[in-house]
């Protein structure tokens, strides 16, 4: 891939404010095309409690709507939850300048998460037909640890992945996560049996992302 990666840690930010920030970054990325300078920005954030529904999602997958904030958004995928203890990563990538396609971008996001999990002694895997990263997807208790949903317009990506680090998993009981009814959800903390330092996870995401980016970088 080509171009420079820049990282922005937004801390804790309301979902709609972060969505607007992505749109701003996407507009700037498109404007930079004319200059020949390619900068891709990756936003790190935690959101207050919110449920989001992808553009082709089914609202019936929200099982207990009372008192819930549900936002319809333009990413792919169905319904998911965002909240404290979950690391959300929004790579705003100009795929046209990076020399990549949408499928390659999604594979890249999955690979980043798999590598981050491995650092914590957890084996994450892909599940054909179900985007994201899973634990024991072919076992007796398959569970999703990371949801992925992106939007691509004019060759520039927004949205990204949500990795459950210390997430309150009870929040997922209100929905069929990603529209799936026969599999569970988990977090790094749940798998390890202890809380995890969020800053260490952020650092791992940055390092693994930069490593993969440079590995696939075109001359």
Give the torsion sign (CA, 16, 21, 44, 144). Answer: positive
Tokens of 17: 């404010």
8 Å CB contact between 179 and 79: yes
Active-site position among 112, 133, 178, 204? 178
Question: Which three-class secondary structure string do you get for the chain?
Answer: CCCEEEEEEEEECCHHHHHHHHHHHHHHHHHHHHHCCCEEEEEEEECCCEEEECCCCCHHHECCCCCCCEEECCCCCCEEEECCCEEEEEEECEHHHHCCCHHHHHHHHHHHHHHHHHHCCCCCEEECCEEEEEECCCCCCCEEEEEEEEEEECCEEEEEEEEECCCCHHHHHHECHHHCCCCEECCHHHHHCCCCCHHHHHHHHHHHHHHHHHHCCCC
How far is Cα 172 from Cα 182, in angstroms, rounded to an integer? 13
146 is an active site residue: no
How far is Cα 155 from Cα 51, in angstroms, rounded to an integer? 27
The catalytic residues are 178
């Amino acid at each position: 891939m080509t171009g420079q990666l820049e990282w922005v840690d937004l801390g804790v930010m309301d979902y709609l404010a972060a969505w607007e920030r992505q749109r701003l970054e996407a507009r700037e990325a498109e404007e930079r095309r004319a200059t020949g300078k390619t900068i891709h920005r990756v936003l790190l954030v935690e959101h207050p409690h919110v449920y989001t529904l992808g553009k082709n999602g089914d609202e019936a997958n929200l099982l207990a709507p009372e008192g819930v904030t549900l936002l319809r958004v333009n990413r792919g995928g169905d319904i998911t939850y965002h909240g404290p203890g979950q690391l959300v990563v929004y790579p705003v990538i100009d795929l046209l300048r990076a020399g990549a396609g949408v499928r390659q971008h999604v594979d890249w996001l999955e690979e980043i998460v798999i590598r981050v999990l491995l650092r914590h002694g957890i084996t994450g895997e892909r599940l054909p037909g179900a985007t994201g990263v899973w634990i024991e997807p072919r076992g007796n208790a398959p569970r999703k640890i990371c949801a992925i949903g992106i939007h691509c317009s004019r060759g520039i990506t927004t949205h990204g992945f949500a990795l459950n680090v210390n997430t309150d998993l009870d929040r997922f009981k209100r929905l069929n996560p990603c529209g799936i009814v026969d599999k569970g959800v988990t977090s790094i903390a749940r798998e390890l049996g202890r809380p995890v330092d969020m800053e260490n996870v952020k650092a791992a995401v940055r390092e693994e992302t930069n490593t993969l980016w440079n590995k696939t970088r075109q001359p």
